[in-house]
């Protein structure tokens, strides 16, 4: 648990907003973060001291408490009630999640308990106590559509070989909040259900942020996995027909603190700018890591289709869950809302940078 000092602040009430709901309220006295060991919770804690000015000129004006699963089990209503009674939070940021996408296919009950029941129980307790809830969801609630689908030659895809003449193409039409979700996996279904449960309890007072391809200095994520493999393997195969956008956890954390400071409600999308495939992401990781001396020498990074990758995984006894062919998120609504209603803009605007720029800042911290 981490607790930061509390200071007195002056109440401010943002003007009404067409794209989100602004709740008239004092800034929080206590912010409770669930899933304290997650990479996002760690980013929220790390960034908090840097963004205190969003709330006050004298530093962070509230107590910040982060609890891990042993301290707060979000699937246990009695445990939640006891924690709320002890800490009396004004805001709860839910970073607790079941994120094992492939494992969820065979662990449906647990995935739905953590990703759907947990947010519902938190929302019910928040409603009862008068606290606000910020819940985090995923781009995987989308499955891609006809305009976004990858167009490979079927024979080449089945063999895992990408013909340059049949290179994937996709239209630049990122998903907006009004787009109809189409979850393809049990993980995605559980995340969508979690959103729906939160809104069912809170209505327009709920705050939900969908994000994509999250990585950071903490926990397990694609960037850290790639760096490790690039140090030990002569070559890698990385999927080339899933298009999304990598997002740095520290940038997401800054956005989330702005939402709390501005007292905003609604459904929002957030990712870095731009889009890429996992293969393009891996190539960029290697190029930047070599420049920063995080790697000694390059390795061969080969593209592979999702179909071929899944077939290879089956030979190892791994059932790969279906993932969206295109799940790039449009963050315009969130950017407009924060630009209109935030008390202060972020000092360096890293949250609105291209994904390559965010990656560079994260890797520089590692170096």
What's the pLDDT score for residue 165? 38
Q: In this predicted structure, what is the pLDDT of residue 341?
A: 79
Burial zone of 302 (CB within 10 Å; 0-12 exposed, 13-18 middle, 19+ buried): middle
Residue 86 neighbours by CB under 8 Å, 6+ apart: none
pLDDT in tens, 268-295: 999 999 999 999 999 999 999 999 999 9
Q: What is the mean pLDDT of residues 225-236?
A: 96
Is the pLDDT score of 59 beyond 70?
no
Asked which of 30-34, 92-96, 347-351 is least confident by mean pLDDT, the reply is 347-351
**Greater model confidence, 5 or 268:** 268
Residue 309: pLDDT over 80: yes
Tokens of 202: 């809170």
pLDDT at 153 over 70: no
User: Which pLDDT score, from 0 to 100, does residue 349 have?
Assistant: 82
What is the tens place of the pLDDT at every residue in 176-219?
Answer: 999 999 999 999 999 999 999 999 999 988 999 999 999 999 98
Q: What distance in Å separates the CA atoms of residue 194 and residue 49, rounded to the nearest whole number?
A: 30
Confidence check: pLDDT of 240 > 90: yes
Cα separation, 251 vs 334, whole angstroms: 13
Nearest to 30 by CA among 90, 95, 93: 90
Q: Pick the catalytic residue: 187, 215, 309, 326?
A: 187
Q: Is the confidence at residue 18, as pLDDT, over 50? A: no
Question: CA angle, corner 178, sides to 173 and 183, nearest 5?
Answer: 80
Over residues 159-164, mean pLDDT: 35
Could you give the dihedral angle defined by the CA atoms of residues 193, 264, 243 and 108, in that order, rounded to the nearest 10 degrees? -20
Query: String of b and e for 25-58 (b: at least 16 CB within 10 Å)?
Result: eebbebbbbbbbebbbbbbbbbbbebbbebbbee
Instruction: Report the alpha-carbon distance of residue 192 to residue 183 in Å, rounded.
Output: 7
CATH number of 21-362: 3.40.50.720
* Distance separating alpha carbons of residues 59 and 55, to the nearest angstrom: 8
Q: If 0-12 CB within 10 Å is exposed, 13-18 middle and 19+ buried, where does residue 357 land?
A: middle
What number is the average pLDDT over the span 243-258? 96
pLDDT of residue 99: 95
pLDDT digits (tens, 9 = 90+) for 84-136: 999 999 999 999 999 999 999 999 999 999 999 999 999 999 999 999 999 99
- Indicate if the pLDDT at residue 230 is higher than 50: yes
- Asked about 98 being catalytic, the answer comes back as no
Of 39, 274, 213, 281, the C-alpha closest to 289 is 281
Around 134, how many Cα atoms within 13 Å sit in the side-chain half-sphere? 31
Over residues 233-243, mean pLDDT: 95
Residue 15 binned pLDDT confidence (cut-offs 50, 70, 90):
very low
Q: How confident is the model at residue 63 (pLDDT cuts 50, 70, 90)?
A: confident
* pLDDT of 170 higher than 50: no
Q: Are 350 and 267 a contacting pair, CB within 8 Å?
A: no
Q: What is the pTM of this model?
A: 0.85
How many other CB atoms sit within 10 Å of the CB of residue 291?
Answer: 12
**The length of the chain, given as a count of residues:** 367
Tell me how many helices (H) and strands (E) the chain has. Answer: 12, 13
Of 244, 271, 267, 266, which Cα lies nearest the Cα of 255? 271
In the prediction, which pLDDT does 103 show?
A: 94
3-class secondary structure, 119: helix
Which has the minimum average pLDDT: 56-60, 100-104, 166-170, 200-204? Answer: 166-170
- Indicate whether 267 pLDDT > 50: yes
Mean per-residue pLDDT over the chain, rounded: 84
pLDDT of residue 333: 96
DSSP state of 53: G
pLDDT of 345: 56
Residue pair 54/261 in contact by the 8 Å Cβ criterion: yes
């Amino acid at each position: 648990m981490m607790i930061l000092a509390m200071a007195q602040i002056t109440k401010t009430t943002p003007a009404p907003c067409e794209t989100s709901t602004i709740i008239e309220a004092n800034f929080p006295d206590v912010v409770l973060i669930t899933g304290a060991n997650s990479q996002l919770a760690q980013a929220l804690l790390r960034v908090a001291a840097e963004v205190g000015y969003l709330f006050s000129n004298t530093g962070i004006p509230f107590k910040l408490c982060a609890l891990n699963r042993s301290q707060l089990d979000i699937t246990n209503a009695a445990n939640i009630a006891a924690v709320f009674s002890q800490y009396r939070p004004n805001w709860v940021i839910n970073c607790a999640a079941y994120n094992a996408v492939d494992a969820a296919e065979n662990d449906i009950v647990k995935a739905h308990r953590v990703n759907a029941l947990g947010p519902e129980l938190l929302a019910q307790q928040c409603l009862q106590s008068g606290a606000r809830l910020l819940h985090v969801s995923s781009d995987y609630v989308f499955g891609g559509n006809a305009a976004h689908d990858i167009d490979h030659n079927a024979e080449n895809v089945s063999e895992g070989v990408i013909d340059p003449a049949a290179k994937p193409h996709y239209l630049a039409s990122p998903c907006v909040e009004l787009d109809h979700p189409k979850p393809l996996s049990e993980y995605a279904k559980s995340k969508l259900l979690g959103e729906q449960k939160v809104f069912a309890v809170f209505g327009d007072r709920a705050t939900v942020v969908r994000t994509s391809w999250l990585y950071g200095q903490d926990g397990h994520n694609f960037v850290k996995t790639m760096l490790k493999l690039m140090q030990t393997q002569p070559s890698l195969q990385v999927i080339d027909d899933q298009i999304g956008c990598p997002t740095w956890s520290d940038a997401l954390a800054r956005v989330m603190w702005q939402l709390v400071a501005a007292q905003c409600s609604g459904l929002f999308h957030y990712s870095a700018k731009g889009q890429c495939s996992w293969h393009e992401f891996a190539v960029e990781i290697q190029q930047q890591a070599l420049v920063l001396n995080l790697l000694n020498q390059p390795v061969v990074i080969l593209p592979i289709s999702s179909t071929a990758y899944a077939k290879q995984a089956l030979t190892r006894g791994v059932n790969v869950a279906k993932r969206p062919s295109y799940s790039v998120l449009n963050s315009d609504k969130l950017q407009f809302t924060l630009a209109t209603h935030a008390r202060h803009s972020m000092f360096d605007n890293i949250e609105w940078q291209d994904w390559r720029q965010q990656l560079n800042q994260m890797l520089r911290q590692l170096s």
